[in-house]
Amino acid sequence: MAKFREGDHVRLVGGFRYRAAADGAYEIVRKLPVADGAVQYRIKSGQEQYERVVSESEIERAAPAA
Give the start-to-end residue ranges of the domains of the chain.
9-61
Residues with Cβ within 8 Å of residue 20, at least 6 apart in sequence: none
Q: Which among 20, 22, 40 is positioned nearest to 31, based on CA atoms?
A: 40
Pairing of strands 51-55, 26-35: unpaired
Single pTM value for the model: 0.86
Going by pLDDT thresholds of 50, 70 and 90, the confidence category of residue 63 is confident
Residue pLDDT, tens place only, 21-56 = 888 899 999 999 998 899 999 999 999 999 999 999
